[in-house]
Amino acid sequence: MASSLCLNTCALPRAAKQSLSSLIQLHKFPSFLPHKYCISRASASVSVSLSDKKELRSPDLVALEYADLNLTDKISQELGHVRIRQHVNPLSSSFSVPAPVPDWSEVFKDPTLPLMVDIGSGSGRFLLWLAKQNPDSKNYLGLEIREKLVKRAEFWVKELALSNIHFIFANAAVSFRQLVSAYPGPLMLVSILCPDPHFKKRHQKRRVVQKPLVDSILTSLMPEGKVFIQSDVLEVAEDMRKQLDAESDVLHHIDMVDPSMLCDDEGWLLNNPMGIRTEREIHAEFEGAKIYRRLYQKKRVCNELSG
């Protein structure tokens, strides 16, 4: 029988999952597990069974991190196999048309709840996990420029029967303002997590965090609303940080208002404040990369941006 990573995901206790994940990530645990590793807490237990020296891969850790969702591997016949094209040119004419604004009362059970928008939502697992944790108190909107990922994420939304999350195929640079301005409730949080780096100098104008989008976010954000950015590429993280630090008349960094949010000597957050890592974050940390994070909060009283 082929070796395999066996997880009882339906009964996996959250504390045990986090304990095992913390042991494995960042190479604090060996890259292989001999025989069986068990964690027990009260009456709940979880075991990971592997044959001798079966190396763990980062997809195994993604499955572990998102075990609470218990997503099936099946996808619709129409969607077919989903291949992720890593880099998309958002300046292409094919992405220049704004996404239509949905009827929010059809999209969400309660469209007046505070809204989180994840720009570049990827597979959607990160946002789905958050939505499942807060079914009655918050709404979640994922904007993604890769249409097949949006279709699969919406398939999972139906599978999980969630009424507080929606995904839209959209270029955020073109569609963010009109989508969010039409939403009936307050915008509480915008996240931009590990966006496409577009390394080449001539391609850096394709990066998602540009001045017009920053202005749209800050105009739409409620007082004390937050902007969370992160990347495993220092150059990209510094670029996003520079643009948001420049808005000091509108934004505080979170450590200025919440001393419990600890930073390193260079001002990067030491811990992920969301309670769940993104898939890219898991892959990057597995490879030994550092994640550069910043969390900003909009001032209660500030000079409103024009337009």
pLDDT attached to residue 55: 78
Lowest-pLDDT choice from 16-30, 111-125, 215-229, 248-262: 16-30
pLDDT attached to residue 203: 46
pLDDT attached to residue 100: 94
Alpha helix (H) ranges present in the chain?
14-24, 58-65, 104-107, 125-133, 147-160, 172-181, 211-220, 234-245, 279-286
Average pLDDT, the chain: 80
Is 196 among the residues known to form the active site? yes
Q: 134 pLDDT exceeds 80?
A: yes
pLDDT digits (tens, 9 = 90+) for 52-65: 445 789 899 999 99
pTM score, whole prediction: 0.78
Burial status of residue 194 (CB atoms within 10 A of its CB: 0-12, 13-18, 19 or more): buried
Q: How far apart are CA 22 and CA 44, in angstroms?
A: 18
**pLDDT mean over 120-145:** 96
pLDDT attached to residue 93: 55
**pLDDT mean over 194-208:** 62
Active-site residue, selected from the candidate residues 60, 118, 196, 239: 196
pLDDT digits (tens, 9 = 90+) for 148-188: 999 999 999 999 999 999 999 999 999 999 999 999 999 99
pLDDT attached to residue 34: 35
